[in-house]
A and B are shown apart, each in its own frame.
Chain A
Amino acid sequence: MKVRVLGSNLEAWTLAGALAFTGCRVSLEAAQLPEEGSDVSEPDLLQLLEQQRDAGRLQLDDSEEAGDLLLVACRHASLESLQMAVQGFVENVSANVGAQPLIALVQSMAIGTTDQLQQWLDEQGAGHIRVIFWPAFIQSGRALESVTRPERILLGCEDERAVQLMRRLLTPFNRSRDTLLVMSPKEAELSKLAINGMLATRVSYMNELAQLAADKGIDIERVRQGMGTDSRIGFQYLYPGCGFGGEAFLETLSQLSRELAHPNEAGLLSSVFAINEQQKDLLFQKFWRYFKADIRGRKVAIWGCAFKPNTSGIEGSPALTLIRALLAHEVEVHVYDPMALSSLRRQLGGLDKLVFAPSAEAAVAQADALMLVTEWKEFWNRDMDDIRLRMRTPLLLDGRNIHDPGHMAELGWVYSGIGRGVSI
């Protein structure tokens, strides 16, 4: 199958690589493969992309060669811009008599977009091209795996032939058990939004509970385990923390938020957002309270600025909120992150009093607080005794609850997590 991919984000590269791997001829509009250190660089993915390019199945060019499937992986703010984007494919494909060309939308968009694009094609006399909604459930950090070993494949499509085609195309990823779920495009669009909304809601709920736990001197970690053992709830997405981020996740959430918008009623999701914003600011507030607002001229170390481990993405990361708040109060900020520093430099580079530290140890030298923002594996078993000795004030604000409060206290830290440790 000849596949054309629009976009150069993580979804585009991952789908392009995975489909080329199964033998498709994939073309993608880009001059070169993603560079190491870029937002989409995940080691196994980069490796795969190189292999596929060398094998000739992945072509990087801007040719509008006729194709069988167009994957729209870039985001479009409006139907009009989406129409513009698929125009070239539509023109080239129309000569290809007898084929069943498909356009698959993989980003969540306003509910009804898939149908509207189909209707537009019908009106253009291009009704033989079928539009389907195939939401990508791609998680940064394990992008390739999310495509090749999917939990489920959602297809929003009411055309039997198109479904058959997609089913065939995705067979390599759908072998051990059939996870393909077919529904109407609108149902699939809402399903995609609803899943992310639910996840966000669980996290914000846990964060609200964590605040209560902190006020009452309860360890939220115990409570989390107590809740997770209930099979109706389960353990997933029950971690309180200093706020969730990620471009795709936040984008989907704001999409859902727009769909749910009741102008004069605060819905559940607006509280979910509000709690998340408060969480992103929480470590700053603890720092403020600990020093009784006397923070100007102090120094803070931040460990991790990626919105989650194994990614260089910083979109919506709590680190951004914290850095801005700290700098606004003339606090010197030293940030260390194993992967995302270059993204941070692109966004905040050149700011006075913001230092990009070469190592976790370098970041904490003479610091008045250590804020742990991303739970990179390399932070879990650091020699925290040694780290504490490098600090000016042994204040550890653990935004991901990766340390044991009792142990940290023994080591001499003033340890405050999210809903556990010292209540600050």
Chain B
Amino acid sequence: MKDCQAMPSLQRKAAGMPPLRELFDTHPARGTIFRASGAGITLDYSKQRVDAEVLQALAQLAEQSGFEAERARLLAGEAVNKTENRAAWHTALRVPADQQTAAQSCVEEQLQRMEALVGKVQAGVWRGFSGKRITDVVNLGVGGSDLGPLMVTHGLREHAEPAGRALNVHFASTIDGSQLFDLLDRLNPETTLFIISSKSFTTIDTLSNADTVRSWLASHCNDETLLLRCHFIGVSAAQDKMTAWGLPAENQLYFWEWVGGRFSLWSTIGLPIALALGASVFRQLLAGAHAMDEHFRTAPLLQNVPVMLALLGVWNVNFLDIRAHAILPYDGRLKYFPSYLEQLEMESNGKSVNQAGEPLDYATCPVLWGEIGANAQHAFYQLLHQGTQAVASDFILAACRYEATAHIAYHEQLLAQHQLNIANCLAQSRVLAFGDAAVAADDTPWRRYPGNQPSSTLLLERLDPRSLGALIAAYEHKVFTQAVIWGINPFDQWGVELGKQVALQLQPLLNNSGAASAAKLDTSTRALALSIQQQQASEQDNGGKA
């Protein structure tokens, strides 16, 4: 990035960039001009601190970073993930069946296998060990095998087909087993099906949950073959490991090494989505994402929604020095969207060496977090409005809502709530941008709003399978585009490996009293381990007495 010709002019522009209030004063029409749209999504970036010159220079920055060639390589399925020498071909997962190339036909094959399985479970053909129909499904997965399916399933529940609605789909991800502990307490082992979702099928979080489930089931049925056959479906890129775990071939769904975990909800990892919402809803989700892929591939840079999201992000981080990014969906259905994006953006672009392995001397991914906007107003908006941090925000909003519920008694009231929600969304981006200039100013110091916090607003006509598919794909491509400009690999995650190894080293030390004090550990970890062992030992003593 540093070597791009566009850099000096961008730096110069950043230094002299006037506040948003002034930008609107000098260019009142920017609200109608600074927008892009594609695949049903409108991006309003007029409240970003940019002008036409900055936009041109940012587009040049992308071009000079080799963006267009990299995009072509991504979409062609070339090995863009250099450290792992493989493709990141999530776009292939959404190519409509009739347009798939020979290399992509495996996608449709697995999709159809998944649909057949979904049909069996939803129709009551799939049976538990005692021959009863399945009423509950629990997805065991973590990271990309959890966040995407959870987010989409929650987001589109209103669009569920009746067959899906009849099925209760749950998610358990945490390594400590808390979610399972709660679920197993109330689920019926005869009628519960478990999905083990793990690309490598070695993820300890997921497999430790699966082992707990296996022992729960075994306490109700002593025929292990029957349990494995009737209560588990595996989704993985590692067939051999699924087989070794004991899953029969018919209970295995596959995806491929070239699908990154956090880009995998479009693959058979989406099984819980299809079960909860219906296979056709899942297809619509794919279609929406594909429409965004096409927009990303063909739209000019400054009219390209994902590219614009990326360029504005780079501008804020690298030129305006804004290191925090809030995701603020004004829609309760998108509750899990911020946590989904936290993984997508920060696991992808939280890097500090370039593709050649050299350290970077500029910033990459900002700290990104979020919450349902209207709830966040009662939580962290204080900091956005009057804190000392500069924060950029994405507002996400659907124009139409509650259209299918015109028959219910409180429909009018719901519509009124929707309008109130929209008013709040627009009000917040307005106050963030203009501060108290948005209203008559008050001189009391603690009532001052400085404003000038930039934001974008992503407007959907309505939140439905297609538009959500397009929205997610837009952020995926944003992440990729930024990675190209920053010169980093967004598709690996070496930063999460070391902790896993160290945990494996520590695990035996905790189980063996004496080992912790003997091991070569830093004093902090050793002291903590000893305290924990003491507390556990005294707990056992107490338990023994009781």
Complex CA gap A281/B132 in Å reads 8
Determine chain A's interface SS by DSSP, over half rule: helix
- Does A194 touch B at the CB level, under 8 Å? no
Complex CA gap A107/B430 in Å reads 64
Q: CB-CB < 8 A to A281: which residues of B?
A: 131-133
- With beta carbons under 8 angstroms apart, the residue of A278, A287, A293 that contacts B230 is A293
Q: CB-CB < 8 A to A293: which residues of B?
A: 127, 129, 131, 226, 229-230
The answer to whether B123 touches A328, judged by C-beta atoms less than 8 angstroms apart, is: yes
The answer to whether B125 touches A284, judged by C-beta atoms less than 8 angstroms apart, is: no
The answer to whether A288 touches B127, judged by C-beta atoms less than 8 angstroms apart, is: yes
- With beta carbons under 8 angstroms apart, the residue of B123, B131, B226, B230 that contacts A285 is B131
The answer to whether A292 touches B125, judged by C-beta atoms less than 8 angstroms apart, is: no
Complex CA gap A401/B124 in Å reads 27
Interface residues in B111-129 (C-beta closer than 8 Å to A): 120, 123-125, 127, 129
Complex CA gap A289/B230 in Å reads 12
- Does B130 touch A at the CB level, under 8 Å? yes
The answer to whether A284 touches B226, judged by C-beta atoms less than 8 angstroms apart, is: no
Q: CB-CB < 8 A to A288: which residues of B?
A: 127, 130-131
Question: Residue of B at shortest CB range from A290?
Answer: B131
The answer to whether B125 touches A328, judged by C-beta atoms less than 8 angstroms apart, is: yes
A-side interface size class = 10 to 19
Question: Residue of B at shortest CB range from A288?
Answer: B131
Complex CA gap A331/B105 in Å reads 32
The answer to whether B131 touches A284, judged by C-beta atoms less than 8 angstroms apart, is: yes
Q: CB-CB < 8 A to A292: which residues of B?
A: 223, 225-226
Interface residues in B198-251 (C-beta closer than 8 Å to A): 223, 225-226, 229-230
Question: Residue of B at shortest CB range from A321?
Answer: B124
For residue A321, give the distance in angstroms from its CB to the closest CB of chain B.
10
Complex CA gap A281/B123 in Å reads 13
Q: CB-CB < 8 A to B124: which residues of A?
A: 325
Q: CB-CB < 8 A to A285: which residues of B?
A: 127, 130-132
- Does A400 touch B at the CB level, under 8 Å? no
- Does A224 touch B at the CB level, under 8 Å? no
Q: CB-CB < 8 A to B125: which residues of A?
A: 325, 328-329
- Most chain A CB neighbours (cut-off 10 Å) among B120, B123, B124, B127: B127
The answer to whether A286 touches B131, judged by C-beta atoms less than 8 angstroms apart, is: yes
Complex CA gap A289/B125 in Å reads 15
Q: CB-CB < 8 A to A325: which residues of B?
A: 124-125
Question: Residue of A at shortest CB range from B120?
Answer: A328
For residue A8, give the distance in angstroms from its CB to the closest CB of chain B.
33
Complex CA gap A289/B132 in Å reads 10
Q: CB-CB < 8 A to B230: which residues of A?
A: 293
For residue B35, give the distance in angstroms from its CB to the closest CB of chain A.
43
- Most chain A CB neighbours (cut-off 10 Å) among B120, B123, B131: B131
For residue A120, give the distance in angstroms from its CB to the closest CB of chain B.
25
Complex CA gap A287/B130 in Å reads 10
- Most chain B CB neighbours (cut-off 10 Å) among A284, A286, A289, A293: A293
Q: CB-CB < 8 A to B226: which residues of A?
A: 292-293
Q: CB-CB < 8 A to A329: which residues of B?
A: 125
Question: Residue of B at shortest CB range from A328?
Answer: B125
Q: CB-CB < 8 A to B131: which residues of A?
A: 281, 284-289, 293
Interface residues in A303-353 (C-beta closer than 8 Å to B): 325, 328-329
Complex CA gap A285/B223 in Å reads 16
Question: Residue of B at shortest CB range from A329?
Answer: B125
**A273-291 vs B: 1/0 string, CB under 8 Å?**
0000010010011111100
For residue B409, give the distance in angstroms from its CB to the closest CB of chain A.
11
For residue A300, give the distance in angstroms from its CB to the closest CB of chain B.
14
- Most chain B CB neighbours (cut-off 10 Å) among A278, A281, A288: A288
Q: CB-CB < 8 A to B225: which residues of A?
A: 292
Complex CA gap A281/B191 in Å reads 14
Interface residues in B129-184 (C-beta closer than 8 Å to A): 129-133
Complex CA gap A289/B127 in Å reads 11
Question: Residue of A at shortest CB range from B123?
Answer: A328
Question: Residue of A at shortest CB range from B129?
Answer: A293
- Most chain B CB neighbours (cut-off 10 Å) among A278, A284, A325: A325
Complex CA gap A172/B194 in Å reads 65
**B298-328 vs A: 1/0 string, CB under 8 Å?**
0000000000000000000000000000000
**B329-355 vs A: 1/0 string, CB under 8 Å?**
000000000000000000000000000
Q: CB-CB < 8 A to A286: which residues of B?
A: 131
Q: CB-CB < 8 A to B127: which residues of A?
A: 285, 288, 293
Complex CA gap A236/B409 in Å reads 44
Complex CA gap A405/B226 in Å reads 28
The answer to whether A289 touches B130, judged by C-beta atoms less than 8 angstroms apart, is: yes
For residue A104, give the distance in angstroms from its CB to the closest CB of chain B.
34
Q: CB-CB < 8 A to A284: which residues of B?
A: 131
Complex CA gap A287/B225 in Å reads 17
Question: Residue of A at shortest CB range from B190?
Answer: A285
Complex CA gap A329/B126 in Å reads 9
For residue A345, give the distance in angstroms from its CB to the closest CB of chain B.
23
Question: Residue of B at shortest CB range from A424?
Answer: B131
Complex CA gap A267/B220 in Å reads 30
**Besides A286-B131, A287-B131, A292-B223, 20 other A-B contacts (C-beta < 8 A):** A281-B131, A281-B132, A281-B133, A284-B131, A285-B130, A285-B131, A285-B132, A288-B130, A288-B131, A289-B131, A292-B225, A292-B226, A293-B127, A293-B129, A293-B131, A293-B226, A293-B230, A325-B125, A328-B123, A328-B125
30 A-B contact pairs sorted by A residue (CB < 8 Å): A278-B132, A281-B131, A281-B132, A281-B133, A284-B131, A285-B127, A285-B130, A285-B131, A285-B132, A286-B131, A287-B131, A288-B127, A288-B130, A289-B130, A289-B131, A292-B223, A292-B225, A292-B226, A293-B127, A293-B129, A293-B131, A293-B226, A293-B229, A293-B230, A325-B124, A325-B125, A328-B120, A328-B123, A328-B125, A329-B125
Which 5 pairs between the two chains have the least Cβ-Cβ distance? A285-B131, A288-B131, A328-B125, A289-B131, A292-B226
